[in-house]
A and B are shown apart, each in its own frame.
Chain A
Amino acid sequence: MINLVSRADELLESKAVQVVIGYEAGSTGKARPAFITDPSKTGSLIFDDRCVQNLAVYLTKKEVRYFGKAAIVATLPIMRSIMMLISEQQVFAENIVVLGVSAEGKYIDIAGIEVMQQYIATCDLGNPAKDQETLAMLNKMSTQQKFDFWQKELSKCIKCYACRQACPMCYCTRCAVECNQPQWIPVQSNLHGNTDWHILRAMHLAGRCISCGECGRACPVNIPCHLLTMHMADQVHNYFNVYAGTTDKMSSVMSTFEPNDKESFIQ
Chain B
Amino acid sequence: MSEFEPKVVAFVCNWCTYAGADLTGTSRIRYASNVKIIRFPCTGRIDFMLLLKSFANGADGIIVSGCHPNDCHYTSGNFHAKRRWIMFKELMDFMGIDMNRITFSWVSAAEGARWAEVVNTTVARIRELGPYVSYKQMVNTAVEEEVTND
Contacts and interface: CB of A to CB of B under 8 A. Distances in A.
Interface of A: 138-139, 141, 143-151, 176, 184-186, 188, 190-193, 195-196, 198-200, 202-203, 206-207, 228, 231-232, 235-236, 239-240, 253-257, 259, 261, 263, 265-267
Interface string B81-100: 01111111111011111110
Interface in B23-47: none
B138 interface: yes
Given A228-B94, A257-B76, A266-B105, A188 B89 contact: no
Given A139-B94, A196-B49, A239-B87, 6 more contacts: A191-B138, A255-B80, A257-B76, A259-B79, A261-B82, A261-B83
A191 B144 CA distance: 11
B48 interface: yes
B91 A228 contact: yes
Given A190-B142, A253-B83, A267 B104 contact: yes
Contacts of A200: 49
B118 interface: yes
Interface of B: 48-49, 52-53, 56, 69-70, 76, 79-80, 82-91, 93-99, 103-106, 118, 134, 138-139, 141-142, 145-146
A254 B104 contact: no
Contacts of A188: 142, 145-146
Contacts of A236: 87
